[in-house]
Chain A
Amino acid sequence: MSDPTTTIAINGLTKRYGETAAVDDLTIAIPQGSIFGLLGTNGAGKTTTFKCMLGLARATSGSVAFNGKPLAPEMFEQMSYVPERCALYEWMTGAEHLEMQRRAFKRYDPKRADRLVDMFALDRKKKVGKYSKGQQTAMALVLAFSTHPEILVLDEPASGLDPVHQRHVLDLIIGEAASGATIVFSSHQIGQVERAADRVAILHQGTLRLAGEVEQLKADVKVVEAVFETDAPSLNGLQNDPAVGYVQRTGRLLRVYVRGRGDEIEKAIAAKGPRSLRVLDQNLEDIFLSTVGASPSNGTEA
């Protein structure tokens, strides 16, 4: 991943609604061919970020560039957006939506659209208003993928879908990225992001808390757990090390959350002569929960 070309550059993006900043000084670079997962609890600023990226909301400050240029109408031919809330016309049938897409996009691929409609088992003749929530999501995805977009922005693309169709969505995203498309998506299902995304950003209360390559985060983020013969000893300032996230102490048990330099921290703790010492791996959900402060062991102390 040496010097990848940045397809989407978000620079100092801020969106205020009155006094509150829904997104505060967000900077993210998304390389071409990447699947970028945006994680956050409700109200973290994910949807606002998407809206600002696509010109659906006006940023208070900051900028978004696609291949180095600000958003322009001619770019929409190469982009697809699936919003969190369904943006289809309820009085139109599935087939009518496909026809509208065909007329609007030169890149529309009718064969692919047909395959996707069948894959999600959608009824072309039915009015979209009569579709279930999951079927509406599926229809929006069919339209989004029917044009072979170079950039895809998907806000909760699997919501309301059954597990089989959710897997189809992930495989579509993966196939598209393997063909060179750049994809940004949000999902509350961290397991899906963990599978599909190569990079993630964790937003919390409008600010960026953590960003990086998923595999690198897993390699860097560890919990060093030590059990001592008596009460856990003083850490002599180790808790102020920038690589140390938090320290949890429960009697003889000591847990130190580290990001990077795990070996070094482990050695420093080993030097205090614990009876037992182990290093625990963290999956993306663990990393997410401790980043947004929802981890049960978040009571920081020194």
Chain B
Amino acid sequence: MSSVFTVDPHSGVPIYLQLIEQVKRSVALGVLAPGEQLPTVKALATSLTINPNTVARVYRELERDGVIETSPGRGSFIRANGGIGNATRAAADVAAAAIDGAVREAKSIGIAPEQAHELFKRALARWYPERHETEDRSL
């Protein structure tokens, strides 16, 4: 179970953010299925060797975001209703932030907007090959 997650505690990015992102991504990708039980706070904290309050915070925030549900005495589970949708939306936010960061990086090293656009098109062609072909034909 715990092997699903890994964190880098020595990164400048807070551990709870790393872990929240990973759980959401795992749900969006179907690595964690609706109804699946998450480890207890203590089990996850000791298996990752991170602070238990950090794990508790991750679970609280995932519950608030509608990705998991916790029932006292039974444990935490991936939400059956809406869990995947909520996680996928959150994973999309992560992707949006990554694209934003890449454009920002391009700008900061002095790449012109036209050139950045070209780079973006090239990336689209690489990762969405089917769509790229149909677009080409329609042109």
Residues on A lying within 8 angstroms of B by beta carbon are: 1, 33-35, 167, 170-171, 174-175, 177-179, 191, 194-198, 214-216, 218-219, 275-278, 280-286
Contact = CB atoms under 8 A, between A and B. Distances in A.
Contacts of A219: 14
B49 interface: yes
Given A175-B42, A179-B42, A194-B10, A277 B49 contact: no
Contacts of A34: 53
A278 B104 CA distance: 9
Interface string B1-32: 00000000111111110000000000000000
A98 to B, nearest CB: 24
B97 to A, nearest CB: 13
A33 B53 contact: yes
B38 to A, nearest CB: 15
B139 interface: no
A195 B9 contact: yes
In the complex, the 8 A-B pairs of residues with the closest C-beta atoms, listed nearest first: A281-B12, A178-B42, A276-B108, A178-B52, A215-B14, A198-B51, A198-B53, A195-B9
B110 interface: yes
Interface of A is mostly: helix
Contact of B51 (A167, A196, A276, A286): A196
Interface residues of B, number: 23
B113 to A, nearest CB: 15
A191 B12 contact: no
Contact of B46 (A171, A191, A284): A171
Given A33-B52, A278-B105, 20 more contacts: A1-B53, A1-B57, A35-B51, A174-B51, A175-B42, A177-B52, A178-B45, A178-B46, A179-B42, A191-B9, A195-B49, A196-B49, A196-B50, A214-B51, A215-B16, A218-B12, A218-B14, A281-B11, A281-B12, A285-B10
A197 B10 CA distance: 12
Among A170, A174, A194: residue with most chain B CB under 10 A: A174
Contact of A198 (B11, B13, B54): B54
A198 B52 CA distance: 8
A51 to B, nearest CB: 26
29 contacts: A1-B53, A1-B57, A33-B52, A35-B53, A167-B49, A174-B46, A174-B50, A174-B51, A175-B45, A175-B46, A178-B42, A191-B9, A194-B9, A194-B10, A195-B49, A198-B53, A214-B14, A214-B51, A215-B15, A218-B12, A218-B13, A218-B14, A277-B108, A280-B12, A281-B12, A282-B12, A283-B10, A285-B10, A286-B12
A174 B45 contact: yes
A215 B58 CA distance: 12
B109 A174 contact: no
Contact of A276 (B52, B57, B109): B109
A281 B41 CA distance: 27
Nearest to A217: B14
Contacts of B41: 178
A203 B129 CA distance: 57
A71 B110 CA distance: 63
A33 B51 CA distance: 10
Interface in B53-76: 53-54, 57
Given A175-B42, A179-B42, A275-B108, A191 B10 contact: yes
B36 to A, nearest CB: 22
